[in-house]
Amino acid sequence: MNALNDTTKDPLVLAGKSFGSRLLIGTAGYPNQQVMLNAIAASAAEIVTVSIRRVSTEAYAENLWDLLKDRYHLLPNTAGCETIRDAVLTAQLGREAVGTNWVKLELIGDRETLYPDVGQLVQAAEELVKDGFIVLPYCTDDPVICQKLADVGCAAVMPLAAPIGSGMGLCNPYNLEIICNRSAVPVIVDAGIGTASDAARAMEIGAAAVLLNTAVSKARNPVLMAAAMRDGVAAGRAARRAGRIPKKAYAEASSPQLGMIGS
């Protein structure tokens, strides 16, 4: 097995469950369902997010849950919710409809920037944790908010790299690195990833995983980009484990100077 992709000794562990892949992927915005299925397969992701509001509970309707439930660990999300009541109710309805207590908690405070309402987010997370949910909250890249979310019992924290769907990459890698270094729970960098180098960089600074959607679904070739993201996450994780050399302001020869011809 290629050492880069050998994750058997380095699994992602969330709420006591182990996963071989450190890439989580979404299901929105693809040209069609077949491209979506091919891209998810190419990504090698094991956790796939699905908006609870896009899952039909009608028996006659083929929905995303039906397409994916036997292949992947599905992570329902509360996309579109703007209040604590709406987010909690949506999560509860999702649990009843699809039979999982895992939820990616999204609670948006601004429709233009799609930034989370962090005040309401912490309260909603605490309520859902008490209700038996395994909560993975989408949040800002704020070390204080991430600490509060961990303190109320979230299984991971999911700070944004940049605004949702922007493809801007890591706008504030310094904050993200602080969060990664301090967090007692896994840090999953979520939103704003644009290309494979962004995913690799997130892993290099210490993220446990990366969650993305638009970077793949809106790429010219979603399947090829999904494979690139898979490799970027794996390379970044390997580099983090290997340990980079220190940065220096001067040159340093890689070959020994003594014993050279003419010396």
Kindly list the catalytic residues.
104
Residues 6+ apart with CB under 8 A from 9: none
Please state, in angstroms and as integers, the Cα–Cα distance from residue 35 to each residue in 29, 153, 198, following that order: 10, 36, 23
Other beta carbons within 10 angstroms of residue 223's beta carbon come to 18
Residue position matching structure tokens 């993201």 = 229
Looking at the chain, list the stretches that DSSP marks H as alpha helix, in order from N- to C-terminal side: 33-43, 64-68, 84-98, 118-130, 143-151, 173-182, 196-204, 214-217, 222-242
Kind plus residue range of the DSSP H or E element containing 189: strand 188-190
Residue reference for tokens 């729970």: 185
Closest CA to 29 of 64, 59, 62: 64
Beta-bridge partner residues of 51: 77
Burial of 149 (0-12, 13-18, 19+ CB in 10 A): buried
